[in-house]
Amino acid sequence: MTGAEMIVQVLVDEGVDTVFGYSGGAILPIYDAVFLHNEASGGSMPLIVPANEQGAGFMAAGYARASGRVGVALVTSGPGATNTVTPVRDSMADSVPIVVICGQVPTSAIGTDAFQEAPVPSIMGAVAKHVFLVTDPTRLEATVRTAFEIARTGRPGPVVLDIPKDVQNWRGTFNGSGRLPVPGYRQRMHRIGANHLGESACDRLLAALAAAERPLIYAGGGVINGEASEALRALVRELGIPVVTTLMGIGAVDTQDTLSMRMLGMHGAAFANYAVEDCDLLIAIGARFDDRVAGHPARFAGNAKFIAHFDIDASEINKVKPVDWSHVGLLADALTTVLERARSRGFSKDWQSWRRHCEELRTKHAMNYDRSSELIQPHYVIEEINRLTRGEAVICTGVGQHQMWAAQYFDFRSPRLWLTSGSMGTMGFGLPAAIGAQFAEPGRLVIDLDGDASIRMNIGELETVTTYDLPIKVVVLNNCGDGMVKQWQKLFHKGRLSASDKSLHKKDFVKAALADGFGYAARLDRKADAPRVIGEFIAFRGPAFLEVMIDPDAGVYPMVGPGQPYDEMITGDHIPSRKRVDITPPGESEMF
Among 554, 560, 586, which residue's Cα sits nearest to residue 573?
554
Cβ 145 vs Cβ 99: under 8 Å: no
Cβ 62 vs Cβ 101: under 8 Å: no
Q: Give 474-487 as a DSSP string.
A: EEEEE-SB-HHHHH
Give 216's strand partners: 282
Gyration radius (Cα) of the chain, Å? 25
Burial class (CB in 10 A: 0-12, 13-18, 19+), 126: exposed
How far apart (Å, rounded) are the C-alpha atoms in residues 7 and 99? 12
Helix axes of 28-41 and 3-13: crossing angle, nearest 10 degrees: 50
| Pairing state between β 520-524 and 394-397 | unpaired
How many residues are given for the chain? 592
Cβ 5 vs Cβ 13: under 8 Å: no
Task: Tell me how crowded residue 277 is: count the other CB atoms within 10 A of its CB.
Answer: 18
How far apart (Å, rounded) are the C-alpha atoms in residues 281 and 284? 10
Annotated active-site positions, please? 53, 115-116, 165, 484
Which helix (H) or strand (E) element contains residue 285?
strand 281-285
How far apart (Å, rounded) are the C-alpha atoms in residues 115 and 289? 45
Among 163, 159, 131, 116, which residue's Cα sits nearest to residue 8?
163
How far apart (Å, rounded) are the C-alpha atoms in residues 291 and 592? 10
| Pairing state between β 394-397 and 446-451 | parallel
The amino acid sitting at 297 is P
How far apart (Å, rounded) are the C-alpha atoms in residues 328 and 154? 11
Give 524's strand partners: 548
Which helix (H) or strand (E) element contains residue 161?
strand 159-164
First to last CA, the chain: 51
